[in-house]
Structure 1
Amino acid sequence: MNKPKIYIDGQAGTTGLQILERLKEREDLELILIAQADRKDPEKRKECFAKADLAFLCLPDQAAIEAVSLAEGTSTKIIDASTAHRTSWVYGFPELDPDQRKKIKEAKYVANPGCHATGFISIVHPLIQANLIKPDISIHAFSLTGYSGGGKSMIQQYEGDQENDLLKSPAIYGLSMQHKHIPEMQKISGLSRKPLFTPIVDDYYNGMLVSIQFELDARQVFEVLNKAYQDQPLIEVEFGNNSFLYANAMRNTDHLKLYVHGNEEQTIVCASFDNLGKGACGAAIQNMNIMLGFEETKGLR
């Protein structure tokens, strides 16, 4: 059997580089590598797309849209890690619904979820499906993330400016209330209202904690979420008694863990995962495995 050929368009970025490094360990795949000097050459990239069975787009939004046009006329399957196609392509969150894996497997184009959106949707979507909350609910969520989520420029900022005391404390951003993950949060969760979302970056490399509060019985919320994910290999639900939850606790893994805390009247649900794992590269490799017929968790941590 021929090994599937994989091309990464944008392999020098944070996500692309990590996917590349992880796929290098796979003996059941053949990587199509493009020379440094040719990475922005449309014709050379077009040749790579034509050779590939599957391509990852690890590019800014507009560049990802342009890359799709370079692959036109080929049979190459595409996983886009950018925001560009998340509300129009098949959504790459296999745990979303019972038939989502089938949709991903049969799709030519799959949109990899955003990191913040992954945590948000993993909490909200099952609660709406179970009618525990209504689609028109007003939801406020906050998300703690390591600085690697900001890509090369933010990594360089945090690791290169050791004298800036401001970078040693948490920073709220997305203050226009128009964070780029909000459209997929709303659509994929099934909300009729845009959520109120506050992202926060802090001085650690990777790891994420997305938290949402509800006026609901915590035990009831746990039962709904636990039932939704009981057969999922990469998602675990725990009724917690933790005194603290740390945002980097699931770093360097490809799993997601939901913690449900609270009482009979109020609940907080926290999604703990790695923004570079289940929030990016791990999710992309999981989707690749499904699309190419490999065991879903192969090569995951």
Structure 2
Amino acid sequence: MEQEITPVMSDEITSCNCCNSEDIVSILRAPDFEMASIRIFHCKNCAALCPDYPEIVEDEISRQTSFHEDFWRDETPETLSELVAGMEAVVDFYKEIIKAPGDGTIAYDVGAGRGNLLTALLTKGYDAYGCEPSAELSQQARAVFDLSGDRLVTTSALDFLSRRSDEKGNVDIVFLWHVIEHFENPMEILREVVSTLAPDGVLICQGPMLSPGYVYPAHRFFHSESNIDWIARELGLKVIFMDGFTKERFVSFALAKEEHPSPAIDTVFLTSPEDAVGSLYYTLSKALAEN
């Protein structure tokens, strides 16, 4: 009989959940989703913001899949179908920087969740494939949207990319939509994602910014503009789009190789704690003013 393993929690985080640097500093306290006071650590290497939830020593993929299965348990086929129209609008929004659908235009949805974005990409005419580690969510998506097992694979991001290694260097679009902040090893996965991109391919991401409703253990870190700048440079990419001034407090960004025709946009990289706090205040003020 196997002995049940009880998760062990550390006293506090000791390294960045984005880049693994130990050069982190407590920068502020913020309310979490239950309005409890949580310390937020700023990484002086990559400028990620990491909530001080004690580290849980267990399989991270299992923890994340369980969380999202519970989070979306009450959704119906009708509500899922309604969300596809919204995701089609997302695809349309990026049409100026992504390759048009057609023969051989390959798109990936890494961390497909309930299949809304993957379905939208297929509806728009892309040769789209996705992965989702939750068997429950991927089975639901296949049933609701009539997705084949080849289109949506129940597996991890790294395994999915390995299975499709014959397309390496030829993928036109990769979506990581509310996914990066959940990864235990984000930079390892992002490097594998970049290796799949065609010279004019685009990596499109969205994730939550630091805001009380999003501060809970499943969100391992939060982007800032400086963090996105660091990720791009670390991957050898340029930032060709970024917008964080939304009422939802989401930040969206697109990264591409130098060969992509879109020019790089100006971004800032602030590593000192004082500058990072000022940047957060400015971003929040802009979001409130514009919404």
> Would you call these one fold, judging by a TM-score over 0.5?
no
Q: Give the TM-score taking structure 2 as reference length.
A: 0.28
Q: Give the TM-score taking structure 1 as reference length.
A: 0.27
